[in-house]
Structure 1
């Protein structure tokens, strides 16, 4: 085989490896809204777009899975297509009204996506963040400031970021999530968790819900263990696990402290 053919094969293989790595790391999540719905209680009413059966099924699963106390801020539901499995986005500056977006997924992936997005809502709730309603919020923030606002001292958001994310890693950088994960894989529950503090919290919340209480000593284990220090999250976890009972790979322990 001559050198030019070998070079061509090498280039193709390299490009394929890069493509796989980029997809795995999810560096850019693009979505197109195909239908939008207004939330009215436990129901949704079409605002625009073409309705499909899976839209109603996804929303009904959200209502079935998540208690009203944890989903009351969602006022709009969007069906999306693209590389993103789900998103949440605030509609109001005070973070009291949100849009939930979900793609068409199989049942198990849909549940994971819903719980991931719930993790964002939990970590950006009224007890977690002072909304960035004016520039003074950022100027006076002494904890961690994200685009949504300033982490309230002692909140899950504050403790998670200040404990597990060095200041130099919190700001956007040229280092990709894949690079960060490869350098310290035991610090993250998944490759996507290494994207930024917000995604790390949401991904860790998924593992908190699906997995048993960690007994290991990795940083990822410590992140999951932090959620157990918040009784309201332990209660939410128990509620969610009742709805996920058909999908959990491990059965809960015999006592609440082990679940």
Structure 2
């Protein structure tokens, strides 16, 4: 989820507006783009095969949903999208690539609620390899901010898919996050072990309380891209990934610099960064 304040629940990863991003990203959330990517590269080939279906909840929406579109295997929306919906879908295709978007998203939900601080959220769909992507049209018109939100949501899907977490685990010996129990080789678990295990006052992995995050951020402000990243390790991963993609390389031994540099140790993320920076004009 990404919001004016950004949060993840047990079933939804979302983004909220109010937190300022690290470096030159500033206080914005994420930006929208109008042209579909021409890249044929897709991260989805690196992900594991689907396993069992996960029930979809209809009680997840942080803002009223007024438009629902099914995404076909060819990436075509049904029913025919409005121009505004088509624009949102094209922005998603630019980040995910058209092939990747069709392979990972099976439903697009849209609403418009300026009173909601949630910009977008993603949630596991009925089959674990698919996701619902929801966007608040009240914020999607800001091209400079919206695309960053889509990148943040992309990071959630990259790190919380069926290749990374067991949604059906009865017990968990690693870390239970919004989409299940992380596998021992999950990138998000490595990130958590390296950067979050050092704290004795860290919020729970399922924390969504802004006050808890603000207090934690105040105590360790230099360690995070922004206050929203201090919500829980999942949001920290997504916000740090966004900074990695959107910012120039950083050098330093401080914890924040190490978090940004973390993704450079994984060829998959390096390739994603190169593609997105070229596609979105962030070079």
TM-score where L is the length of structure 2: 0.69
Q: Judging changes above 3 Å, is the alpha-carbon distance between structure 1 residues 170 and 145 closer, same or farther for their aligned structure 2 residues?
A: farther
Choose which of 73, 91, 96 in structure 2 pairs with 1:61: 91
Matching residue within 55, 70, 75 for 1:38: 70
- Look at both structures and tell me which one has the larger radius of gyration over its CA atoms: 1
Q: Does residue 82 of structure 2 align to residue 85 of structure 1?
A: no
For residue 169 of structure 1, give the secondary structure of its aligned residue in structure 2: coil
In terms of fraction of residues, the more helix-rich structure is: 1
Structure 2: 5+ residue runs without aligned partners? 1-15, 21-60
Gaps of 5+ in 1: 1-21, 252-259
Deviation at 1:192, TM superposition (A): 0.7
Q: For 2:203 and 2:181, locate their aligned partners in 1 and report how far apart those are by CA, in whole Å.
A: 13
Q: Residues 23, 113 of structure 1: CA spacing in aligned structure 2 closer, same or farther, 3 A cutoff? A: closer
* Per-residue deviation, 1:23: 7.5
**How has the CA–CA distance of structure 1 residues 161 and 192 changed in structure 2, closer, same or farther, with 3 Å as cutoff?**
same
- What is the SS of the residue equivalent to 2:155? helix
Q: Which of 196-205 and 111-120 deviates more?
A: 196-205
2:107 maps to 76
Q: Which residue of 2 aligns with 1:242?
A: 278
* Preserved contact between residue 102 and residue 113 of structure 1 (Cα < 8 Å): no
Tell me, yes or no, if structure 1 residue 113 matches structure 2 residue 149.
yes
Secondary structure, counterpart of 1:31 in structure 2? coil
Structure 1 consecutive aligned stretches of length 4 or more whose deviation exceeds 6 Å: none
Match of 1:169 among 198, 202, 209: 202
Query: Using CA pairs below 8 Å that are at least 6 residues apart, which structure has the higher relative contact order?
Result: 2
Distance 1:46 1:168 in 2: 48
Cα deviation digits, residues 183-231 of structure 1 (max 9, x gap): 1111111111111111111111111110122212221211111111111
In 1, Cα distance between the equivalents of 2:224 and 2:163? 25
> Per the alignment, do residues 150 and 110 of structure 1 end up closer, same or farther by CA in structure 2, a change over 3 Å counting?
same
Q: For the residues of structure 1 that align with 2:62 and 2:170, how far apart are their CA atoms? A: 28
Say how many residue pairs are matched.
Answer: 215
Cα distance, 1:173 vs. partner? 8.5
Asked if residue 144 in structure 1 is aligned to residue 175 in structure 2, the reply is yes
* Paired residues of 1:143 and 1:162 also in contact (CA < 8 A): no
Structure 1 residue 69: Cα displacement: 5.7
* Distance change (3 Å), C-alpha of 1:169 and 1:55: same
Q: SS of the residue aligned with 2:176?
A: coil
Q: Confirm or deny that 1:102 pairs with 2:132.
A: no
Aligned-residue CA RMSD (Å)? 2.5
Alpha-carbon distance in structure 1 between the residues aligned to 2:100 and 2:240: 17
Q: Secondary structure of 2:90's partner?
A: helix
SS at 1:143 equivalent? coil
